[in-house]
Amino acid sequence: MLKVDGVEKAYRKGGFFSKEKEQVLAGISFECGHGECLGIIGESGSGKSTLGRLLLGIEQPDRGSVLFEGESVTKRRGRNGRISAVFQDYTSSINPFYTVEAALMEPLRMMGMGKKEADSKLDFLLAQVGLDSTYRSKHPHELSGGQAQRVCIARAIATEPKCIVLDEAISSLDGSVQMQVLELLKDLRNTYRMGYIFITHDLQAAAYLCDRVMIVRSGRVEETVSVEQLGNVQSAYAKKLLQTVML
Ligand SMILES: Nc1ncnc2c1ncn2[C@@H]1O[C@H](COP(=O)(O)OP(=O)(O)OP(=O)(O)O)[C@@H](O)[C@H]1O
């Protein structure tokens, strides 16, 4: 489904006129199958979010390719409605002037759905994320963190994508709410047979949701293991990182 091949990305260091560059991703290659959940774990600054943006086609790699079902994600046709995203910052993910209804209507209408059909799909979408139709008229500031993130998830599944990139999607939520949202993501994955790219600092959450975990170190893939084999990682760095995040 998703094929990443030899991806590299560097950013200019310092000011606009600076010639010095920081290599953030170097030769990243991996694949993620249909309906698979791949966790991406790494230290802060290792390039996880940059990789997430490249997978979504928000930014282009300097070298290499990101293909979704054989088409480059940088082409609109390659990703249109088939890959969506949920980010950490749910407060800025929804336009503050939009009601929940307007926020959910947008992707449905962009898909070309008629007003009547979109209107009935809206209640269904809310129900899918555990919210009732009274939430339609609420603005983001009237929602709790967990409710706002549920709306973001409803928006992400509105186009029935084949893959969702979740970048630290539960990190800003309180403990028990984190667990509820994780359970919701697990249920939705079974319902829609979607794949997830789950970028996180939270190894327990990755182990709960993912099939495989890819450990990233300084913009390179250090090791990829199935969740069952997390206790048997080979590289010394992966062992140390997992020990640190397990504490
Ligand atoms: N748009 C940008 N312009 C310049 N540098 C950037 C940009 N985006 C990211 N970087 C740099 O790239 C490096 C990797 O950042 P990135 O956010 O991808 O890491 P991360 O692993 O997601 O970190 P964290 O877990 O803290 O979110 C950092 O040094 C960061 O400063």
118-147 confidence digits (pLDDT tens): 999 999 999 999 999 999 999 999 999 999
pLDDT exceeds 70 at position 78: no
pLDDT of residue 246: 64
Is residue 184 one of the residues assigned to a domain?
no
| Atom number in ligand 1 closest to CA 51 | 18
pLDDT exceeds 60 at position 184: yes
Residue range 26-30: mean pLDDT, rounded: 96
Is residue 74 one of the residues assigned to a domain?
yes
Identify whether the C-beta of residue 49 lies closer than 8 Å to the C-beta of residue 199: yes
**Same structural domain for residues 74 and 170?**
yes
| Closest CA relative to residue 165, chosen from 7, 58, 42 | 58
pLDDT bin (cut points 50, 70, 90) of residue 15 is confident
**Same structural domain for residues 171 and 116?**
no
Nearest CA to ligand 1 atom 26: 44
pLDDT exceeds 60 at position 98: yes
pLDDT digits (tens, 9 = 90+) for 236-245: 999 998 887 7
pLDDT exceeds 80 at position 110: yes
In whole angstroms, give the CA distance from residue 101 to residue 79.
Answer: 24
Is residue 102 one of the residues assigned to a domain?
yes
Nearest CA to ligand 1 atom 31: 45
Q: Which residues line ligand 1 (CB under 6 A)?
A: 11, 24, 42, 44-50
pLDDT exceeds 90 at position 233: yes
pLDDT of residue 33: 95
**Same structural domain for residues 34 and 129?**
no
Containing structural domain, residue 3: 1-81+165-175+196-247
Cα-to-centroid distance, 63 and ligand 1 (Å): 18
Domain end among 158, 185, 207: 158
pLDDT digits (tens, 9 = 90+) for 197-231: 999 988 899 999 999 999 999 999 999 999 999 98
pLDDT exceeds 90 at position 57: yes
Taking each continuous run of H as one helix and of E as one strand, the counts in the chain are: 9, 10
Nearest CA to ligand 1 atom 4: 11
**Same structural domain for residues 101 and 134?**
yes
Helix residue ranges per DSSP H, 73-231: 76-79, 90-93, 100-110, 115-128, 145-157, 175-192, 203-209
**Same structural domain for residues 242 and 148?**
no
**Same structural domain for residues 169 and 62?**
yes
**What values do phi and psi take at 109, rounded to 5?**
-70, -35
**Same structural domain for residues 244 and 170?**
yes
Is residue 47 one of the residues assigned to a domain?
yes
Is residue 191 one of the residues assigned to a domain?
no
Is residue 189 one of the residues assigned to a domain?
no
Is residue 169 one of the residues assigned to a domain?
yes
- The residues facing 71 across adjacent strands are 68
- The residues facing 22 across adjacent strands are 11
In whole angstroms, give the CA distance from residue 172 to residue 164.
Answer: 18
In whole angstroms, give the CA distance from residue 12 to residue 28.
Answer: 19
| Atom number in ligand 1 closest to CA 50 | 18
pLDDT of residue 74: 86
User: Burial letters for 114-135: b for 16+ Cβ neighbours within 10 Å, e otherwise?
Assistant: eeeebeebbbebbebbbbeeeb
Tokens of 159: 């186009």
* Tally of CB atoms within 10 A around 65: 16
| Atom number in ligand 1 closest to CA 46 | 21
Cα-to-centroid distance, 230 and ligand 1 (Å): 26
Domain end among 129, 158, 187: 158
Q: Name the domain count of the chain.
A: 2
Cα-to-centroid distance, 133 and ligand 1 (Å): 38
**Same structural domain for residues 53 and 116?**
no
Nearest CA to ligand 1 atom 25: 44
pLDDT of residue 37: 97
The CA-atom distances, in angstroms, between 46 and each of 4, 121, 171, 216 are 17, 39, 17, 6
CATH of the domain at 208: 3.40.50.300
Pairing of strands 63-68, 71-72: antiparallel
In whole angstroms, give the CA distance from residue 35 to residue 90.
Answer: 24
pLDDT bin (cut points 50, 70, 90) of residue 17 is confident
pLDDT exceeds 90 at position 76: no
**Same structural domain for residues 55 and 170?**
yes
**Same structural domain for residues 120 and 218?**
no
pLDDT of residue 230: 92
| Atom number in ligand 1 closest to CA 52 | 18
Is residue 183 one of the residues assigned to a domain?
no
pLDDT bin (cut points 50, 70, 90) of residue 6 is very high
pLDDT bin (cut points 50, 70, 90) of residue 81 is confident
pLDDT exceeds 80 at position 176: yes
Element (H, E) at 239: helix 236-246
| Atom number in ligand 1 closest to CA 42 | 21
pLDDT of residue 77: 65
Domain end among 131, 158, 185: 158
**Same structural domain for residues 139 and 201?**
no
pLDDT of residue 11: 94
Collapsing DSSP states into helix, strand and coil, what is residue 50? helix
The CA-atom distances, in angstroms, between 91 and each of 10, 24, 124 are 29, 27, 23
**Same structural domain for residues 59 and 108?**
no
